[in-house]
């Protein structure tokens, strides 16, 4: 099977509260759009990640803080990040989807996977939940590929409009994991300067407010994709945030769905060249419901193609 899709109903029950941009309809629109566009693709149920799997990248105190405190109604983690009664399980299923997808790709069950899950993850640091994120699912997946499958070169490409400060924080000192990000600046969380290099494994490309799809394509074609090609990853992971779209209410870029499709094709080509085609994508941001539908279809069409 060329592409596996992962999700779980509990991810629709994670509810940060009325008016919150990271709302359940985000995921519902993605799933509906993919079902309409790709009716023959198989959906897999996301399993639960274990505490041990989370602890590869997260402090046990953060894990306990998210999983063990009771939630009645809503529980506020920070000004932007809230939990409902279903949130802890949703976060475990989101991380578990990435782990299951890594296992499927590295045992030959599929060449590509897309995890349509929430909450998103790339802002969660080793010890702090923040920016709508509880656990860093893409980091958990990368650590699983290293620990359980013995890989030594895993790349994470992040095109969410917000810098994945959590992913960078977790892997900045680990040369086995390359992190590449294009993001708007100035914008939350205020990290991701081009001067941030980690141990030579961090590559950030800043886009100024108003930058369009041509600018997005240029920073990837001229800077980030060549760095990824030189790294020759054994597995490509993607933090697929679609909030750089021109309709997104939380940012000021001017990207179209077709630009995300183009970038996905480039990442797939690199995965084909170095990683036996193995590419795992996980949903991150994107807060225009109309744009999310179009972007998710363009992204998955490139994964299938």
Catalytic annotation, residues: 123
Assign 3-class secondary structure to the chain.
CCEEEEECHHHHCCCCCCCCCCCHHHHHHHHHHHHHHCCCCCEEECCCCCHHHHCCCCCHHHHHHHHCCCCCCCEEEECCEEECCCHHHHHHHHHHHHHHHHHHHHCCCCCEEEECCCCCCCCCCCCCCECCECCCHHHHHHHHHHHHHCCCCEEEEECCCCCCHHHHHHHCCCCCEEEEEEEECCCCCCCCCCCCCCCCCEEEEEECCCCEHHHHHHHHHHHHHHHHHHHCCCEEEEEECCCCECCCCCCCCEECHHHHHHHHHHHHHHHHHHCCCCEEEEECCCCCHHHHHHHHHHHHHHHHC
């Amino acid at each position: 099977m060329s592409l596996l899709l992962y999700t779980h109903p509990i991810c629709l029950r994670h509810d940060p509260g009325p008016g919150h941009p990271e709302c359940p309809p985000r995921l519902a629109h993605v799933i509906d759009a993919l079902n309409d566009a790709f009716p023959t693709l198989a959906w897999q149920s996301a399993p639960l990640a274990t505490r041990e799997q989370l602890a590869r990248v997260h402090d046990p105190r953060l894990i306990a803080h998210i999983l063990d405190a009771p939630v009645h109604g809503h529980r506020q983690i920070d000004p932007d990040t809230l939990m409902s009664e279903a949130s802890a399980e949703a976060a475990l299923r989101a991380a578990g989807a990435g782990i299951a997808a890594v296992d499927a790709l590295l045992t030959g069950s599929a060449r590509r996977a897309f995890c349509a899950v929430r909450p998103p993850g790339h802002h969660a640091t080793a010890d702090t939940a923040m920016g709508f994120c509880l656990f860093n699912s893409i980091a958990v997946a990368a650590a699983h590929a290293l620990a359980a499958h013995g890989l030594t070169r895993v790349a994470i490409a992040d095109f969410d409009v917000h810098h994945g400060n959590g992913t960078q924080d977790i892997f900045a000192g680990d040369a086995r994991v390359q992190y590449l990000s294009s993001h708007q600046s100035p914008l939350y969380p205020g990290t991701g300067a081009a001067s941030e290099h980690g141990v030579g494994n961090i590559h950030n490309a800043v886009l100024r407010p108003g930058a369009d799809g041509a600018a997005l394509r240029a920073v990837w074609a001229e800077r980030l994709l060549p760095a990824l090609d030189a790294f020759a990853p054994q597995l490509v992971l993607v933090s697929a945030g679609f909030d750089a779209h021109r309709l997104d209410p939380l940012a000021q870029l001017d990207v179209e769905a077709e630009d995300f499709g183009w970038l996905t094709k480039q990442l797939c080509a690199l995965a084909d060249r170095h990683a036996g085609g193995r590419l795992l994508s996980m949903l991150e941001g994107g807060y225009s419901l109309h744009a999310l539908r179009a972007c998710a279809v363009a992204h998955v069409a490139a994964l299938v193609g």
